[in-house]
Amino acid sequence: MYVGFLICVCAFTFQWSAVFSEKAKRPHIIFVMADDLGWSDIGYHNISSAVKTPNIDRLARAGMKFTNYYVQAVCTPSRGALMTGKYPIHIGMQHFVINSTSPWGMPKDVPTLPEKLRQLGYSTNLVGKWHLGFFDWDYVPTARGFDTFLGIFMGEGDFWNHTKYGYLDMRRGKEPTWSYTGKHSTDVFTQEAIDIVNRHDQQKPLYLLLSYTAPHTPLQAPQTDIDKYKSVVDMNRRIYLAMIDGVDQGVGKLVDACKRKGMWNDTLFVFVSDNGGHPGFGGGYNWPLRGYKSTLWEGGVRVPGFVLGSMIQKSGGEINDLIHVTDWYPTLIKLAGGTTKDDNIDGVDQWDVLSKGTPSTRQEILVNIDYAPDLSGEQYSPRGFTYYSGAAIRVGDMKLLHKCPNGSWYKLPEDGNQAPTEERFTKERIPYFEFALYNVTADPEERYELSTQYPDIVEKLFKRLKYYNSTAVKSRLQPEDPESLRIAAKYGRWEPWKNEGEVTSTAGSIYCWLTSSHWFIIYLYFFVN
């Protein structure tokens, strides 16, 4: 009996030591997402000699670059797709972005990537941009799976003062922090990511989402970085390139920190953009791809990206398979030792594609479905954005667009071209396309429209669009709520306004009140709306 007991103990000990050993093998995951980085805005694409990203280029050359990586056309839908593994039409996030006064967010009844990774033993950390809702405390990052958070709730803000319309938007966890005033957000977020790496206990796997707010507007960068691009005459483009430069510097510093910590060989490193660039005032360009941020043309939804790590068997090449932002959810969860079989997701596990070069099982990508209720009464938000993008789908080589506004091509200012004006954007959105078909493998620039030549392909792809549309849930979009402005003015910072009684500590509120332009913003809000 004693011998039998010892055998059981030994078997139990061996079993659990194997489990712990397997856990120790799980890689750290560092996921870096740039904001509004266009197709031609990365050095390794060799499109613009003005773009300088030596650190990112070096990593991309050592890893595997994506040539057919698709995201959503604007920030909020892309981030929702990353977090849930679902197309935006299946979580009600298919229509534009969450504003500072939007009383809605990513649905609470859907599991998130950080929640799943935390259940698998990962330390989960978000640094930078959230943009998935903050009207209620149940929607903020630390309520949706992140152990730690330093960053902004909203989609953009002043890079130096960390304010939006004069009100503070910088948090550590749930607490507002004024301690970074005067420090550029890119530097703040880089240092926070480095600090997370430095203090991390390597007995536990790390998930770090470094979600830079650069190079998104407002265009602001340190003067020393701006001066590197004096040869670029267009000032918006010059500052934008300086902001990319800052991101590149940050990536280099973060990788160095991982190496000093002894974590780099056990880290899967991912670098992507959340959507395409916006030419002109936005400074970002997608040449030679057609379109821009907020459109379903390739320039809005096909973006730079690569993956790197010792667990990637192939390196120094390209992945030409179709990959979508939803695919990270099942891919990373599988890598972490988990399963997504009960999550009803749209993402496809791409781990064998990334690590071994195995052909992908993904043959189609729903780009989006967001039809205008009345095409003749289509409305636009300011500065060239479309409120309704229409619908698009890619199946194999072919891409079908349905009821989409027109898109054009925007050449690089550093090559002597004039930056587009808002009037040009408005003019070039017409005409709308009932159907437009392209072979985006042979014609990635979408110059040769094929719908009349291949009506059978149009019919086949449109049938798939109709199927997806039949599965869509209603958009979560809600009328903007001026109560958010009242609370922001009251406390001098943006707060979840549905739970005013739970407002965080008010230290420093008087300072924000005195330094904010609250009366002007309240007037501006009601005047514009």
Residue 155: CB atoms within 10 A of its CB come to 23
Kindly list the distances between the CA atom of residue 529 and the CA atoms of 2, 138, 163, 481, in Å, as whole numbers in the listed order.
Answer: 80, 28, 21, 11
How far is CA 472 from its chain centroid? 22
- Cα–Cα distance measured from residue 393 to residue 401, given in angstroms and rounded to the nearest whole number: 7
- Which contiguous run of DSSP H or E holds residue 152? strand 148-152
What's at 359, amino acid-wise?
P
- Catalytic positions are 75, 131
* Extended strands (E) in 412-526: 432-439
d(CA 102, CA 75): 15
Sheet strands side by side (includes 123-129): 175-176, 171-172, 148-152, 123-129, 206-211, 28-34, 267-273, 305-308, 64-66, 317-319
- H-only helix segments in 35-100: 54-62, 75-84
Distance CA 460, CA 19 (A): 48
Neighbour count for residue 527 (Cβ, 10 Å): 7
